[in-house]
Amino acid sequence: MTNVPTHWYNIAVDLPKPLPPPMDPYEGESRITLLNRIMPSELLHQEFTALQYVPIPEEVRDIYARLGRPTPLRRARGLERLIGNGVKIYYKFEGALPGGSHKLNTAVPQVYYAFRDGAKEVATETGAGQWGLAVSIAAALIGVKATVFMTKSSFMSKRQRVLFMRTYGATVYPSPSEVTKYGIEALKANPNHPGSLGLAISEAIDYTLQGEGRRYIPGSVLEFVLMHQTVIGQEAIEQIPEEPDLVVGCVGGGSNFAGLTYPFIGAKLRGEGFEGTRFLAVESKAAPKLTQGRYEYDFPDSGGLLPMIRMLTLGHNYVPPPSHAAGLRYHGAAPSLSLLVREGIVEARAYTQEEALEAGVMFARSEGIVPAPESSHAIRAVIDEARRMPKGSVILFNLSGHGLLDPDAYERVS
């Protein structure tokens, strides 16, 4: 039987090139200094750790286990039959966690470390609500308050997730809100402002700075977030009965992709297996940073409150066209993933929303699980690749979430 991993894996120390350090812009106050005031201290240590394997606190492992880790690794026999050429397909089902996505893997340790710092409350942003929901669950279990700034357009259209978060006791504000100066300014400029993830981040940080005992926690892109997600891949290595020829995941900021693939890629980089395995990162054509972005220092948030990091980016002011896969509408990719794509170790591909959702429907009808629209992007790539691969080939992909709260996304393609 597979156990809950005891450590998180830090790929930085196995990369072919060093990760460039974060950097302050030349204008304004030091963003690096600001991190100290807003983030749980242990997370900053983890962002800069030299350890290859970082121990997972027992309390966190315990919650992982109670929430359903290890998550199932399943064979997609229905989808295999549909494709019909003898290619074998496995998937890791992160949607089996109570929040319905992989986001809990990092929400739990982040809230835990905030609590250990003496915080009474955590603040964060959310788009479609997957991250906000995970934080709400983790906060309820650990006993701190959660305050979530949710982009207003999603706040209106994803009512179920708002109610879900409130069920766990979270306070959810539509962003722009009346509770921070960034929100008030945005509303003054445009009373019908639909909100953006960047603005919601600025609001969450400002809110954190306003009160005692608050910590800000981020949902993707930072290296410690990716590291927390590596429980997925470590479990998968133990669970999968044969070596995959191809491992696939979707990319918003890179956390679920990294979570599944990094333990495999690390072994490959160290010469300890998976020599022949390919890795494919799938993004949305609405935010194609991996296939069309520039590799440069940029802000992770559109407000420019956080330190700049070197990554593949479309620019922090890039406004993606609307997409049902809100979790993929992000302008940049985590520094380590950007580096791996540039080095040719990870391949990248972009799909349109329609291409992805069509694949999501195929999966739902052949496997019985409605995938999150984000995960459907990975499924599209799996189907396209499988059709080209010889009989007996093995594919593994990350089903990063279920789509039980996103049936509206599938309305037009079903």
Ligand X SMILES: Cc1ncc(COP(=O)(O)O)c(C=O)c1O
Sites of contact with another protein (CB under 8 A): 10, 12-24, 26, 30, 32-33, 35-36, 41-42, 44-45, 48-52, 223, 297, 307
Which of 327, 332, 335, 360 is the binder for ligand X (CB under 6 A)?
327
- HSE of 18 in the Cβ direction (CA atoms, 13 Å)? 5
Is 374 an interacting residue with respect to ligand X (CB under 6 A)? yes
Query: Among 297, 123, 299, which residue's Cα sits nearest to residue 213?
Result: 123
Q: Which does 400 bind (CB under 5 to 8 A by kind): another protein, ligand X, none?
A: ligand X
257 and 229 Cβ atoms separated by less than 8 Å: no
CA 321, 330, 128 angle in degrees (round to 5)? 80
d(CA 149, CA 129): 10
Closest to ligand X by CB, 100 vs 174, is 100
Q: Which is nearer to another protein, 18 or 344 (CB)?
A: 18
Kindly report the number of other CB atoms within 10 A of residue 121's CB atom. 18
Which of 19, 399 has the CB closer to another protein? 19
* 3-class secondary structure, 408: helix
- Torsion sign (Cα): 229, 235, 239, 245: positive
- Return the amino acid letter for 411: E
Residue 130 binds to ligand X (criterion: CB under 6 A):
yes
Binding residue (CB under 6 A) for ligand X from 122, 400, 405, 406: 400
Q: Does 254 bind ligand X (CB under 6 A)?
A: yes
Q: How far is the CB of 185 from ligand X (least distance, A)?
A: 26
Shortest Cβ 15–another protein spacing (Å)? 5
- Chain positions 55 to 94 lying near ligand X, rule: CB under 6 A, are none
**If binding is defined by CB under 6 A, does position 251 make contact with ligand X?**
yes
Phi-psi region of 333 (alpha: psi -120 to 50; beta: other; left: phi over 0): beta
Residue 25 CB contacts under 8 Å (≥ 6 apart), including other chains: 31, 299, 304, 308
| One of 153, 180, 220, 277 touching ligand X (CB under 6 A) | 220
Interface with ligand X (CB under 6 A), residue total 19
For residues 104, 398, 231, 342, the Cα torsion angle rounded to the nearest 10 degrees is: -110
Which of 7-15, 75-83, 299-307, 371-379 is the region at the interface with ligand X (rule: CB under 6 A)? Answer: 371-379
CB of residue 26 to ligand X, shortest distance in Å = 29
Between 180 and 256, CB nearer to ligand X: 256
User: Which residue from 64, 91, 112, 131 is in contact with ligand X, where contact means CB under 6 A?
Assistant: 131
Cβ–Cβ under 8 Å, residues 177 and 149: yes
When the beta carbons of 88 and 124 are compared against ligand X, the nearer one is 124
Report what 199 binds from ligand X, another protein, none; CB cut-off 5-8 Å by kind.
none
d(CA 111, CA 135): 7
Q: How far is the CB of 368 from ligand X (least distance, A)?
A: 18
> Does residue 106 interact with ligand X by CB under 6 A?
no
> Among residues 132, 233, 307, 401, which is the contact residue for ligand X, using CB under 6 A?
401
131 binds, among another protein, ligand X, none (CB under 5 to 8 A by kind): ligand X
| Residue carrying structure tokens 């929901």 | 133
Is 252 a residue that touches ligand X (CB under 6 A)?
yes
Residue 234 and residue 9 in contact, taking contact as beta carbons nearer than 8 Å = yes
Name which of 237 and 328 has its Cβ closer to ligand X. Answer: 328
CA angle 48, 50, 51 (to 5 degrees): 120
Q: Which does 85 bind (CB under 5 to 8 A by kind): ligand X, another protein, none?
A: none
Torsion angle, alpha carbons of 27, 200, 293, 38, to 10: 50
Task: Identify any residues that bridge with 12 across adjacent strands, giving them in sequence order.
Answer: none
CB-nearer residue toward another protein: 26 or 275: 26
Binding site for ligand X (CB under 6 A): 101, 130-131, 220, 250-257, 327-328, 372, 374-375, 400-401
